[in-house]
Amino acid sequence: MEEKVIKKPNSMYDEFTRKGGAAPKATHYCPGCGHGIIHKLIAEAIDELDIQKRSVVISPVGCAVFAYYYFDCGNLQVAHGRAPAVGTGLSRAEGNAVVISYQGDGDLASIGLNETIQTANRGEKMAVIFVNNTLYGMTGGQMAPTTLIGEKTVTCPTGRDPRFAGYPLHICELLNTLEGPVFIERVSVSDISHIRKARKAIRKALEIQRDGKGYAFVEVLAPCPTNLKQNAEQSAKFVNEEMEKEFPLGNFRDLTNEREPLPHLISDYSKESIDNLYKIDSSASPDAVEDPEFTPVLTKIAGFGGQGVLSMGLILARAGCHAKRFTSWYPSYGPEQRGGTSNCSVVISGEAIGSPVVYESDILISMNLPSLEKFASDVKKGGLILYDSTVGNFEAPTDVRAINVPATQIAKEGGSEKAANTVMLGVLMHLGVTRLSMENYVAAIEETFKEKEKLISFNQNMLKAGAKWAMENL
Amino acid sequence: MKEQKAEPYPLINVLECKGCGRCIAACPKNVLIMSEELNRRGYHYAQYKGEGCTGCANCYYTCPEPLAIEVHIPIKKRC
């Protein structure tokens, strides 16, 4: 006999392989948790609206941090409270995406409240599913902005006292003061009749996204039986009787029929358009060519801010681009414009680069003692260290070649000690360890200083001065 | 021969059930009960009494585990 089966929506996985472990078909949520119920409602709406291929669910920080284990659609996991910011970027960069921001009350109503208000006010195209269980669940049930007056949590063991901890924050009411949102509703998943209403609201929020109309917000009152030490019946009763008193259910706004779809932005990620955007001469960044023979060269360059450490890395990276290698440049620096330490990682490779971060380097160029002490032990055996003579004497780790280069002095004699970085590159070039040609370096300098023409020939001379020193002394 | 009358029924995946009891509270016909035994993961689990299901799917919707319950409803063919 034919039958109809009501079961897991298609937009959820058949098995949660990302979760893995001994129970790959069960969620990581506690027994009786509201999250699994809400996940199903979202996935069901995705199925019904036929938007699985367009949907991107943003997992928050909180119990739902692993929501991407379950949704069979696009997924992102973002920093605490930052879902609206990331969602904004996503919905603007991918105009056709249906952005579903899934957040808890600790995430949305506390650390992420500013982003939430700004995003709602701008009326960004996203559906926000705000799960309110009156506490921080993942961390063990601490007081949240939404904790009820008198409600006991581990950080207010005698109950929330408004004289010290203020009052529960009503997010729907707060957002309803803004012009931006299209749809605002508060629902509950306490019991079956509430779940069926919640299902409609969530579907509506996603329908607004399907049609590209703007910001839709659904607050879902959800049980947290574990942290509140309740069983199924007590948790339903708590939501229905205690939470609903503070957070009345209902629709606050529905402008679906009044609002027109927002402009649908189509982004062009072609190389031409990006080069154009950044005013890059396409000849300066030719497409890299696959060459598995050319094993990655990992370089770390470090020193004080202002010593030209980052620009040295940039010139090296540009030389790599010029040689049609896959190249990355990854800076790391403190807040100081001058005087703080900074470093950058440069990877030059014959194949696509997985990570731009260099932990163990083939080459270390160090312009000061603190950086040398910090990074010298990370140089691989057989690797190379170039350090400036101003550092003084330094004992290299075993099986590493360390060269004391009077780069600052050579640059000073040449006209400006600021060019010590280019002198270093000259030495590096002469040693041949980067497997890049002089032509590559010269072209990189030209590209780097194209706005300050006078500096091109000066730096090219300093590059050669460095190479000359290496030839005569090494 | 008279065909056996087909009724809807819930299919409970014993291993995925965490025994929260939400489905038992949600069932309008009280045809679900909690097991005496534990499943392999150490939870009591929901069980179908074997008859009386109307296929309302309350148990499916209230269950926090997406893969723990499905509700099968026979489609009656028109004669």
Q: In the 8-state DSSP scheme, what is residue A287?
A: P
Domain that holds residue B56: 9-72
Judge contact between A456 and A464, C-beta under 8 A: no
Q: Is the pLDDT of residue B2 over 80?
A: no
Q: Which tokens in the block code for residue A450? A: 């194209």
* pLDDT above 70: percentage of residues in chain A: 98
How confident is residue A338, by pLDDT bands cut at 50, 70 and 90? low
Closest Cα in chain B, distance from residue A36 (Å): 4
Output the domain CATH number for residue B57: 3.30.70.20
- The B-side interface with A (CB below 8 A) comprises 6, 13, 15-16, 18-22, 24-26, 41, 43, 55, 57-58, 60-75, 77
Q: Does A233 lie at the interface with B, CB-CB under 8 angstroms?
A: yes
How many CB pairs below 8 A link A and B?
Answer: 104
Q: Check residue A413 and give its pLDDT.
A: 95
Q: Is the pLDDT of residue A202 over 60?
A: yes
Which residue shows structure tokens 């229905």? Answer: A240
Q: Is the pLDDT of residue A339 over 70?
A: no
Q: Does A2 lie at the interface with B, CB-CB under 8 angstroms?
A: yes
Nearest to A46 by CA among A257, A215, A207: A207
Q: Check residue A395 and give its pLDDT.
A: 87
Closest Cα in chain B, distance from residue A37 (Å): 5
* pLDDT above 90: percentage of residues in chain B: 84
How confident is residue A272, by pLDDT bands cut at 50, 70 and 90? confident
Q: Is residue B3 part of a domain?
A: no
How confident is residue A232, by pLDDT bands cut at 50, 70 and 90? very high
Contact list in B for residue A42 (CB cut-off 8 A) is: none
How confident is residue A474, by pLDDT bands cut at 50, 70 and 90? confident
A51-90, pLDDT tens digit by residue?
Answer: 999 999 999 999 999 999 999 999 999 999 999 999 999 9
Q: Which tokens in the block code for residue B6? A: 């087909």
Q: Which tokens in the block code for residue A445? A: 């300098």
Provide mean pLDDT across the span B40-62. Answer: 95
Q: Check residue B1 and give its pLDDT.
A: 46
Q: Which of A2, A5, A6, A203 to mutate to test the interface with B (most CBs of B within 10 A)?
A: A6
> How many structural domains are present in chain B?
1
Closest chain B residue to A70, measured at CA: B66
How confident is residue A337, by pLDDT bands cut at 50, 70 and 90? low
**Residue type for position A181:** P
Closest chain B residue to A11, measured at CA: B66
Q: Check residue A305 and give its pLDDT.
A: 77
User: Is the alpha carbon torsion for A198, A204, A205, A206 positive or negative?
Assistant: positive
In angstroms, the CA A215 to CA A206 distance is 10
Nearest to B16 among A25, A32, A39 (CB): A25
Closest Cα in chain B, distance from residue A27 (Å): 6
CB contact under 8 A, A3 and B63: no
Q: Is residue B32 part of a domain?
A: yes
Q: Check residue B24 and give its pLDDT.
A: 96
Nearest to A3 among B43, B58, B72 (CB): B72
Q: Is the pLDDT of residue A113 over 50?
A: yes
CB contact under 8 A, B64 and A233: no
Q: Is the pLDDT of residue A321 over 70?
A: yes
Bridge-based pairing of strands A361-366 and A326-333 is unpaired
A126-172, pLDDT tens digit by residue?
Answer: 999 999 999 999 999 999 999 999 999 999 999 999 999 999 999 99
Nearest to B64 among A33, A199, A236 (CB): A33
How confident is residue B78, by pLDDT bands cut at 50, 70 and 90? low
Structural domains in chain A, CATH included, are 34-254 (3.40.50.970), 280-473 (3.40.920.10)
How confident is residue A287, by pLDDT bands cut at 50, 70 and 90? confident
In angstroms, the CA B45 to CA B15 distance is 8
Across A49-58, A175-184, A285-294, A315-324, least confident range: A285-294
Q: Is residue B15 part of a domain?
A: yes
Closest chain A residue to B71, measured at CA: A6
Q: Does A192 lie at the interface with B, CB-CB under 8 angstroms?
A: yes
- Stretch (H or E) spanning A328: strand A326-333
Q: Is residue B50 part of a domain?
A: yes
Q: Which of A7, A66, A228, A230 to mutate to test the interface with B (most CBs of B within 10 A)?
A: A7
* pTM score of the predicted model: 0.76
Q: Is the pLDDT of residue B34 over 70?
A: yes
Closest Cα in chain B, distance from residue A307 (Å): 57
Nearest to A374 by CA among A382, A384, A364, A383: A364
CB contact under 8 A, B70 and A34: no
Contact list in A for residue B74 (CB cut-off 8 A) is: 1-3
Q: Does A35 lie at the interface with B, CB-CB under 8 angstroms?
A: yes
Q: What angle do CA A338, A341, A343 make, to 5 degrees?
A: 115
Q: Does A281 lie at the interface with B, CB-CB under 8 angstroms?
A: no
Partners of A63 in the β-ladder: none
Closest chain A residue to B43, measured at CA: A31
CB contact under 8 A, A39 and B73: no
Q: Is residue B79 part of a domain?
A: no
**Residue type for position A75:** N
**Stronger pLDDT, A216 or B75, i.e. the higher one:** A216
